[in-house]
Amino acid sequence: MGDATARFFDAMAASYDELEPWYEHLYAELHRILQSALHPVARGAPALDAGCGTGFQTRILAEMGYRVHGLDLSAASLSVARARLPASHFVRGDLGALPYGDATFDAVVCAGSTLDFVDEPGSAVAEIARVMRPGARLLLEYERRWCLDLAWTLVSSVTADVFGYGLRPAKARELVATPWRAGVWVDYPGYPRLRLFTDRELGAMLQRSGLRIEQAWGIHAITNVLPSPVLHRPRLSAALRPLYRALRSADARVGSSRALRAIAAHGVVLARKS
C-alpha cells in the first residue's frame, strides 16, 4: 500500500461519506453484519479498525462498547475520523507493519476493500493476526475475482466499453486467464492497483496466520445483475431506483447463501485466532 494509494484516498476524504448507490448498499450490509457478529466480550475491550478511513466502522465499534483504535495510510481521512471520534485513538500507518504489540486486540475489522489495495496482502494478514489475542475475532471484507461483475467487464471490453469499466479486451481477458484459484491484480482507470481475491486464496492466507473462518457472507450478488459502473454515480435515475431497492432487499436476504456468495462482488468473513 504505497504513496499513490494514500494520495488517492487523501483526495476523496472530504467527500467519502457521500456514498454512491453501490457503496450505500455495501456499507449497509457490512455494518449490519458487524453489529450482529462482533459483539464485545466485555465493555471496553480493545478493538482495531485496520484501514479505518474516515471512521465508518470505528464509530460502530465504539457504539458497541469497544475501546477503539484506528489505523490508516491516508492523513486526510484520519483528520475526518478524529473529528468524528475525538475520544478514539488514531494513527497513520501501514497494514504491513502495524505499530502495536503482539496480542493487543480482542477484535479487528478490516473493511472498505482495504486489503485489496495492499501490495503484500499475505504479510498484512499475518500482521493483523500478530496483534490479535488468542480467541480474538477478525471481520474482513474483500473484493472477489469470480463474481457476476467479471462477466459484465468482459462484455463491456468487447462492446466499445458500453458500461464504462475502462479495460481494453486484452486487459479484461487477463482477469480470466490466470489460474482459477489465484487472485488477480487489476488496473481500473482512475484507481490505484487493486487485487481481486479468490475465496480459496484468502482462506489460505488466514489459515497460514493461525486464523480460522467461522462464518462467511456475500454482498452484491443479486444487485450485480446491474453492471457496477451503473451504480458508481451520485444517484440513480428515477426509473432505476425502485429496481435497485428491490435488488438490494433480495441481496440482503441471501447474503449468507453459499451458492450466491459464489457470484458476489464482495466477500465478508468472520475469522477467529486459534
Residue 191's pLDDT is what?
Answer: 86
Sequence-separated (6 or more) residues with CB below 8 Å from residue 161: 167
pLDDT tens-digit readout, 115-163: 999 999 999 999 999 999 999 999 999 999 999 999 999 999 999 999 9
In angstroms, the CA 251 to CA 243 distance is: 12
Q: Is the pLDDT of residue 240 over 90?
A: yes
The residue to which cell 484507481 is assigned: 191
- Cβ of 228: how many Cβ atoms within 10 Å? 21
Question: Structural domain boundaries of the chain?
Answer: 3-273
Region of poorest pLDDT, from 6-10, 78-82, 218-222, 237-241:
6-10
Residue 162's pLDDT is what?
Answer: 95
Q: Is the pLDDT of residue 2 over 80?
A: no
pTM of the predicted model, to two decimals? Answer: 0.96
Residue 1's pLDDT is what?
Answer: 56
- Predicted confidence band at 3 (pLDDT cuts at 50, 70, 90)? confident
pLDDT tens-digit readout, 189-218: 888 999 999 999 999 999 999 999 999 999
Q: Is the pLDDT of residue 82 over 80?
A: yes
Average pLDDT taken over every residue of the chain: 95
- CA 173 to chain centroid, in Å, comes to 24
3-state secondary structure of 195: strand
Task: Tell me the average pLDDT across 59-75.
Answer: 97
Residue 189's pLDDT is what?
Answer: 84
Amino acid at the residue 53: G
Task: Tell me the average pLDDT across 72-83.
Answer: 96
- Predicted confidence band at 177 (pLDDT cuts at 50, 70, 90)? very high
pLDDT tens-digit readout, 94-113: 999 999 999 999 999 999 99
3-state secondary structure of 65: coil
Q: Record the cell numbers describing residue 134, joined without a space.
A: 488468542
**CATH number of 3-273, picked from 3.40.309.10, 3.40.140.10, 3.40.50.150, 3.40.50.2000:** 3.40.50.150
Q: Record the cell numbers describing residue 104, joined without a space.
A: 493487543
In angstroms, the CA 61 to CA 125 distance is: 20
**What is the Cα Rg of the chain in Å?**
18
